[in-house]
Amino acid sequence: MTRFVHEVHMRWSDMDAYRHINNTAYLAYLEQARVAMFFHRNEGFSSGTVIRRHEIDYIRPIVYHPEPLRLELWVDTIRGASFVVHYEVLDGDRVAARASTTCVTIDFDADAPRRLSDEERAILRGFADEPA
């Protein structure tokens, strides 16, 4: 499967005193795209996920403009109770940031991680990046 693509509109208030999009806004952009990806194919997750870790490499600053940013997402490192979502944030045709989020599947009733089901693993593999 090709990467999942989602467009995110910046808000004027995302810009900081240095006249570029503040680093904290990126987490919201990543969340919007990740949620869209899972609602795109949500037919098998029996419970929720929590975020264990975010990593972001800022490549170039983004200055506010009305056109949306393009986020490309894919999944890898599928383990017993976790997986990693990777992102590229594109401003036009230029990569502005690369990021990853480690997600852990959780049983909210037991307040503990739970193993991914075979069906969930299949869904996640459907979001794998195409080999280069």
Q: What is the CATH number of the domain that holds 72?
A: 3.10.129.10
pTM for the whole structure:
0.90
The verdict on residue 130 lying in a domain is no
The verdict on residue 116 lying in a domain is yes
The verdict on residue 15 lying in a domain is yes
Q: Once rounded to an integer, what is the mean pLDDT over residues 24-51?
A: 84
- State the Cα–Cα distance between residues 10 and 15, nearest whole angstrom: 9
Model confidence over 94-116: pLDDT tens digits?
999 999 999 999 998 899 999 99
Q: Two tokens at 131? A: 């080999």
Closest CA to 82 of 62, 100, 69: 100
- State the Cα–Cα distance between residues 39 and 47, nearest whole angstrom: 13
Contact 57, 2 (CB under 8 A): no
The verdict on residue 60 lying in a domain is yes
Closest CA to 40 of 8, 10, 73: 73
Model confidence over 60-92: pLDDT tens digits?
999 999 999 999 999 999 999 999 999 999 999
Q: What is the pLDDT of residue 4?
A: 93
The verdict on residue 65 lying in a domain is yes
The verdict on residue 101 lying in a domain is yes
Range of the domain at 111: 4-125
Closest CA to 45 of 127, 128, 129, 122: 122
Provide the domain count of the chain.
1
The verdict on residue 132 lying in a domain is no
The verdict on residue 131 lying in a domain is no
